[in-house]
Structure 1
Amino acid sequence: MDTAQRARLGLNALSPSRVETLAIQKRRAMRQLRSKSSLLEKYIFMAQMRTTQTHLFYKIVIEELEELAPVIYTPTVGTACLEYSNMYPFLAAPGVSDGLYLTYPNSAAAPTTSDLVSMIKQYQPFPNEIYQPEIAVISDGSRILGLGDLGVNGIGIPIGKLQLYVAGAGIDPRKTLPIILDLGTNNDKFLEDEFYLGLRQRRPDEQQFYESVEKVIQSIHQVYPDILIQFEDWSSEHAFGLLEKYQKKMLCFNDDIQGTGAVILSGVINAIRRVQKESGVEPQGHRVVFYGAGSAAIGVARQIQEYFQIEHGLTEEQARQLFWIVDSKGLVTVDRGDKLAQHKTYYARNDNQGQQYKSLLDIVEYVKPTVLIGLSSIPGAFTEQVLRRLAALNEQPIVFPLSNPATQAECTFEQAMQATEHRVIFASGTAFPAFTEPLTQKRHIPGQGNNMYIFPGLGLGAVLAKPTYISDGMIYAAAKALADSLSQDEIQQGWLYPTLTRIRQVSAIVATAVCHEAITENLAQSAHLLAVPKDDILPYVVKHMWAPHSLDALASSSSRI
C-alpha cells in the first residue's frame, strides 16, 4: 500500500519506506522459493505466505501453477501431512488459523449442535470482512492419499484442495472453508507421539461415527445453508456410506469417488479413441482390470461403465462384464470364500468356473486385459513381467498407475515405456518426468490423471448453478467436457489430458458443462444462471472466476488479502 494508506491505517514507521508493486514482490518470493533445497521446505514457505500475504500467494500459484502444484499439493502434501503436528506451530502467526478444527471426543464431552455452531462461527479467516464461504472441503483424516490414518494431520488435504479450487477455477479464496473433523485416530504411532496435536483416542464405532458426522453436517448447514461440501479422504466404507446418504439430500460430492472417476474416465475416453484410431481396437472390445478395490477404484469403474453404456450402446450387464476387480486377496469373485465388502459385490465375477487367481501376472494371463488401472497404493505392483505380458497382448496397452504419492505408484512412466517398447498409453496419478527414447531421442510426456482437471470446474459449476444436488449426469458431463477440451495440437501429440497451463480455461469448460447439465435436469436453482442464454453460459462462467487482479490492490483494508 502507498504512504497515504499507511498513514490512514496508522502503519507509518512500522515497515521500510519503499512501496513495491506486486510483480516485484513476486520476483523476490520466487527467488526465495527456488533457493529452498527440498519440496517440504518449499511447502512451509508457501504455507507461511498463504497465511500472511494471501494476495501474493495466489498470484504466484496461479501464474506458476506447473511449478507450484507439486509443492502445495501432491506429492508434497503427503509428506506435509505426516509432519503436520511438527510443523503446525510455525506455519502462521499466533491466532491465525489455517482451517476449522472440529474436535469430537468419544465421551460425555462430545459437542452439542449448539457447540458445533459456535465453533464454526468462530472461524473468521479474513478479519474485517463478512465471511460467507461457498465451498467447504471436509476430511476426518482416516485415509490420507495412500498413507492411511493420519488423524488431525490430514488438515493439509482440505487446505491444499481449496488452494487448487482458487488457482484452477477462480473460486474466491475468501469463500473457502477447510475442515478437519477430529474423531481420533487408530494410528498407534500418532497416539504415542508426544507432539501429535489431535485427539488421543481411537476412532468411534459405526453408529457413533454416522451420528457424529450427521451432527456436524447439520451444524455447518445451520451456519451456511447454501454451502457446497466436498468429502475428501475418508475411509473407503465411510466414503461410500456418506455419499449414498447425502448425495441427493444436499449439495455435495466425494472427490475420491466421483472426482477420481471423472478424471480417469476422461483419460480413458481419450485413450480408447486413440487406440481405436491407431490400432483398430473397438471400444466394446476392451477388457479392464482394476488393481485395487477401494472407493476410488469402484468409483472409476462405475463411471467408465456408464461411458460404455451411454456412448457405445452397451446394456448395463454387457458393460459390467468388461471389468475385473483385484483386491489384496486376488481376483474378486463370488465364490472366493470370503465375505466381500458391500462396494465390491457389484463387480464380483461369477464366470471364473471355480478357479481363483491371486497374483496379478496370473490375472493378466487369464483376463488378457487391454487396460490396466492401479489404485492399490502398492509401489511397483506393475512389475516388468506384468508390463511385458501386456505389451505382448496389445499393440498399445493402456496402463494407468494412479496411486499417490509417487512413492506409492504401481510403476513409473520410465518402467512402463521400457517394458512395452515405448508403446504404452500411460497416465498416472502423480507427475512423472518425460521419457526420451535412447536411439531416436524422441521425447514422450506422460499423462497425469490429476483430479485438479475436474473438481475445480465441477465446484465452480455447482456454485454458479446452485443445483439441489450434484447428479451422476453432472459428473459425467464434467468428464466428457474434459475429454473434449484437448486442443488439436495436444491430440496430435497423443496427449490424454490438456496442459496444466490451460487449467483455468479447462475449468471454465468443465463448469459450463456442469451448468448446462444442471439446467437440462431441472436441478439448477440460480435465477441469475437461468436468465443467461445457453450460448452465453461460458462467458458468464469466466466472468465469475476470481483472480488476484480482481481485487483493487490499493483498496483500504486490514485484511491480509
Structure 2
Amino acid sequence: METQKRETLGLTGLAPVRVETLEIQKRRALRHLRCKESMLEKYVFLAQLRSTNIRLFYKIVIDELQEIAPIIYTPTVGTACLEYSNIYPFLAAPGVPDGLYLTKGDVPTLCDMIRNYRPFAAEPFSPQIAVISDGSRILGLGDLGVNGMGIPIGKLQLYVAGAGVDPRRTLPIILDLGTNNEKLREDEFYLGLREPRPSDDQFYAAVDNVMKALHTVYPDLLIQFEDWSSEHAFGLLERYQKQTLCFNDDIQGTGAVILSGVINAIRKVNKESNVSPRDHRIVFYGAGSAAIGVARQIQDYFQIEHQMPEEEARKLFWICDSKGLVTKDRGDKLAQHKVYYARDDNDKQYKELIDIVNYVKPTALIGLSSIPGAFNQQVLGRVAELNDQPIVFPLSNPATQAECTFEQAMEATNNKVIFASGTAFPAYTIAKTGEVRIPGQGNNMYVFPGLGLGAILAKPRYISNEMIYAGAKALADSLTPEEENQGWLYPSLARIRDVSAIVAAAVYAEACKEGLAQTTHDLDNEALVRYVSSQMWSPNTEAYGTKIPVHEIHSRI
C-alpha cells in the first residue's frame, strides 16, 4: 500500500522507508522547538513548520496551546513584528506566501491580486475569514507599517486553534500605506513602502477600494479589523459595521473579553464584599480605541443587566489620557472618541494618576495606556486602602508595556487584588501561607475565535453590538464550578474549544433572534453548542472531522 502511494506521488527512493504517525512527528518537532534558545527562534521555527506541514503545525498548536500561544501570539509576536523585515526571508518555504500584501497603488489590479493569493496551490482557495491591518498601531509598539503582518497571521492561527476554523480558509492581509515611523523608513532592510502615511481622504479611499475588491471576489467573507490607529479604528467601524460582515477586535473583541472578566469580578466583590454593581467607580488609564471600546461594553452591562439609565451608567467611568483626566473644560480639543466620557463634574484638572485615584476613589483600575509601571506601588496601595477587593486590570500588551505585573499588584495590595492582565504573568505564591494564586488573563482569544465562528456559521448581514454582548456574557457564564471556587475570572485555556463553542452558539442565537442570520436554526442552546462543535476543523482528520448538518443534530443528541 505505502509503496503504491510513493510510486503514485513520484517519491520512490526520495525519502526513508519508515511511515510515521502524526503523534510521532509532533514529538520530534517539539523536541526541536524546545531546543531553541530564544522565543523569536521558536517563532521562526514554527513559521517554517506552518509553511511545510500545516497539519503537524496545528496538531502542535492545538495539543500544546498553553505552551505555543505565547510564541505565535503575545508576547513573542510583538518581537516578531519589530524584527519582521529581518526575519521575513526565513519564515516560509519558497513559493509559499505568508499573507496578502496590498498597497494603495494596486487599485486597478486589486481583484486579480486577491484571486492570485493561493496559499495551497493544489487546492482552490475560498476563505471564510480575513484579518486585515495597516500596521499603524501594533500592540503597544506603535506604527510598524508592513512589519505588522505578524498580527493578522497570528490572529488567524488562534482562530484555527481556538475555534476550529479551517486554516485553508483563512486570509491574512496587510494594507501597506507607508509608515510615519522614520526609523523604519530609513532602515535598509525594511520591506514596506518608504513614504509617510496618506491623508484621511486618501486613507479611506484606499480602504474602500480594498473592501470593495475583497467582497467582489469573496462576497461572504468575514473581515476582522486589527491594530489600526485609534481614530481610524473607530472611523472604519462606523463606516462598515452595518454595511458588511466585519468587526474590530481592538474595540469590540477587547471590550467583550474585558467585559466578561469585569462581570465575574463584579459578581465576586458583590458576593464576598457586598459591593453593589451600582456603587462601582471605574478609572481607565488610557483613552485609545481599545479603552473606549472596553468602557462602552462594560457600560452596556450596567444598562442591560442592572437596568441603569444610560446617563447614570456613563457616570461610572473616568477616562484618563496622557494629559490627565478627560474633562470638557480641560482647554484642549478632545479627539472625537473621547468626548462621550469627558467629565463635566470635576472641581479642577487632575493630571497625575495618584491624584485622580484620590479624587475618584475607584473600585476598579483598568490600564490600556502602554505605559509600563504606571500602576506603581503608591497607586496600587491607595486603591487597596479604598477597597477590600480592588479590581486591577493592567491590559497593555506585550508584557513589557503592562501597567504592572501580577507580583507587583499582589505585594502592593497585601494580596487583596482581583487581577486580570492583557498578557500572561506567572502565578504568585503568598509567602506566609504558601497559597498559590493564578492571575487572570483578559486574552482576546477567549472571544474573537468564537465570535468569528458564530458569524461564519450564521452568516448575518452584519455583526451587531448585541451579538458582541451576547458573546461576552456567554464567556462570563462559561466558568465551571471548580473555576469559580478558585476565584478565576476566565476559564482555563485548556478548554478553549469548548468555550469558543459556547461563545459561537450565543452569537449564532443572537443573530437569529435579531433576524440578521441568513442561516437559521430551531435548536435549544445545548444542541446549538453541539452543532457548533461539530463544525470545527481538526488536524487529526482530513477535512472537518465530525461535521454534521444542522438538520441532523436533533437525532444525534
Conserved 8 A contact 1:46-1:57: yes
In 1, Cα distance between equivalents of 2:168 and 2:512 = 27
Select 2:354's aligned residue among 349, 353, 361: 361
In 1, Cα distance between equivalents of 2:55 and 2:288 = 38
Select 1:444's aligned residue among 410, 416, 437: 437
**Percent identity of equivalent pairs:** 72
Select 1:314's aligned residue among 305, 308, 311: 308
In 2, Cα distance between equivalents of 1:94 and 1:33 = 21
1:172 correspondence with 2:163: no
- For residue 185 of structure 2, what is the aligned residue in structure 1? 191
Aligned-CA RMSD value: 1.1
Conserved 8 A contact 2:163-2:497: yes
In 2, Cα distance between equivalents of 1:532 and 1:10 = 49
- For residue 274 of structure 2, what is the aligned residue in structure 1? 280
SS at match of 2:247: strand
Select 2:373's aligned residue among 376, 380, 396: 380
SS at match of 2:540: helix
1:302 correspondence with 2:296: yes
Deviation at 1:95, TM superposition (A): 1.5
Conserved 8 A contact 2:537-2:543: no
- For residue 19 of structure 1, what is the aligned residue in structure 2? 19
CA deviations 1:436-455 (Å, max 9, x no partner) are: 01111100000000000000
1:397 correspondence with 2:390: yes
In 2, Cα distance between equivalents of 1:482 and 1:51 = 33
More displaced, 225-234 or 32-41? 32-41
- For residue 489 of structure 1, what is the aligned residue in structure 2? 482
CA deviations 1:6-39 (Å, max 9, x no partner) are: 2101111222221111111000001111111111
Select 1:549's aligned residue among 534, 537, 540: 540
- For residue 260 of structure 1, what is the aligned residue in structure 2? 254
Where do residues 224-263 of structure 1 align in structure 2 (5 Å cutoff)?
224-263=218-257
In 2, Cα distance between equivalents of 1:80 and 1:319 = 40
- For residue 350 of structure 1, what is the aligned residue in structure 2? 344
- For residue 556 of structure 1, what is the aligned residue in structure 2? none
SS at match of 1:530: coil
CA deviations 1:320-374 (Å, max 9, x no partner) are: 0000000000000000000000000000000013x00000000000000000000
Deviation at 1:530, TM superposition (A): 3.0
SS at match of 2:15: coil
The change in CA–CA distance for 1:207 and 1:552 in structure 2 (over 3 A counts) is closer
In 2, Cα distance between equivalents of 1:464 and 1:186 = 39
Unaligned runs of 5+ in 1: 105-109, 554-561
Unaligned runs of 5+ in 2: 545-557
In 1, Cα distance between equivalents of 2:543 and 2:395 = 41
SS at match of 1:548: coil
- For residue 527 of structure 2, what is the aligned residue in structure 1? 536
In 1, Cα distance between equivalents of 2:456 and 2:39 = 33
In 2, Cα distance between equivalents of 1:538 and 1:90 = 40
In 2, Cα distance between equivalents of 1:298 and 1:99 = 30
- For residue 550 of structure 2, what is the aligned residue in structure 1? none
Q: Which amino acid aligns with 2:336?
A: Q
SS at match of 2:414: coil
Conserved 8 A contact 1:3-1:19: no
In 2, Cα distance between equivalents of 1:111 and 1:549 = 39
CA deviations 1:40-70 (Å, max 9, x no partner) are: 1110110000011100000000000000000
Deviation at 1:103, TM superposition (A): 2.2
- For residue 332 of structure 1, what is the aligned residue in structure 2? 326
In 1, Cα distance between equivalents of 2:47 and 2:257 = 27
Select 2:106's aligned residue among 98, 107, 111: 111
In 2, Cα distance between equivalents of 1:12 and 1:134 = 37
Conserved 8 A contact 2:254-2:290: yes
In 2, Cα distance between equivalents of 1:539 and 1:418 = 43
In 1, Cα distance between equivalents of 2:221 and 2:49 = 27
Deviation at 1:535, TM superposition (A): 4.9
- For residue 35 of structure 1, what is the aligned residue in structure 2? 35
In 1, Cα distance between equivalents of 2:461 and 2:529 = 21
Q: TM-score, normalised by structure 2?
A: 0.97
Conserved 8 A contact 1:251-1:467: yes
In 2, Cα distance between equivalents of 1:103 and 1:14 = 41
Deviation at 1:539, TM superposition (A): 1.4
Conserved 8 A contact 2:501-2:533: yes
Conserved 8 A contact 1:524-1:530: no
Where do residues 366-515 of structure 1 align in structure 2 (5 Å cutoff)?
366-515=359-508
SS at match of 1:179: strand
CA deviations 1:388-447 (Å, max 9, x no partner) are: 000000000000000000000000000000000000000000000000011111000000
More displaced, 1-10 or 317-326? 1-10
In 2, Cα distance between equivalents of 1:326 and 1:269 = 22
- For residue 559 of structure 1, what is the aligned residue in structure 2? none
Q: Which amino acid aligns with 2:498?
A: Q
SS at match of 1:55: helix
In 2, Cα distance between equivalents of 1:539 and 1:3 = 40
In 2, Cα distance between equivalents of 1:483 and 1:13 = 56
The change in CA–CA distance for 1:69 and 1:534 in structure 2 (over 3 A counts) is closer
Instruction: Identify which of structures 1 and 2 has the higher relative contact order when contacts are C-alpha pairs closer than 8 Å and 6+ apart.
Output: 1
- For residue 558 of structure 1, what is the aligned residue in structure 2? none
Deviation at 1:536, TM superposition (A): 2.2
In 1, Cα distance between equivalents of 2:194 and 2:320 = 35
In 2, Cα distance between equivalents of 1:419 and 1:552 = 51
Deviation at 1:302, TM superposition (A): 0.2
> How many residues of Structure 1 are paired with residues of Structure 2 in the alignment?
544
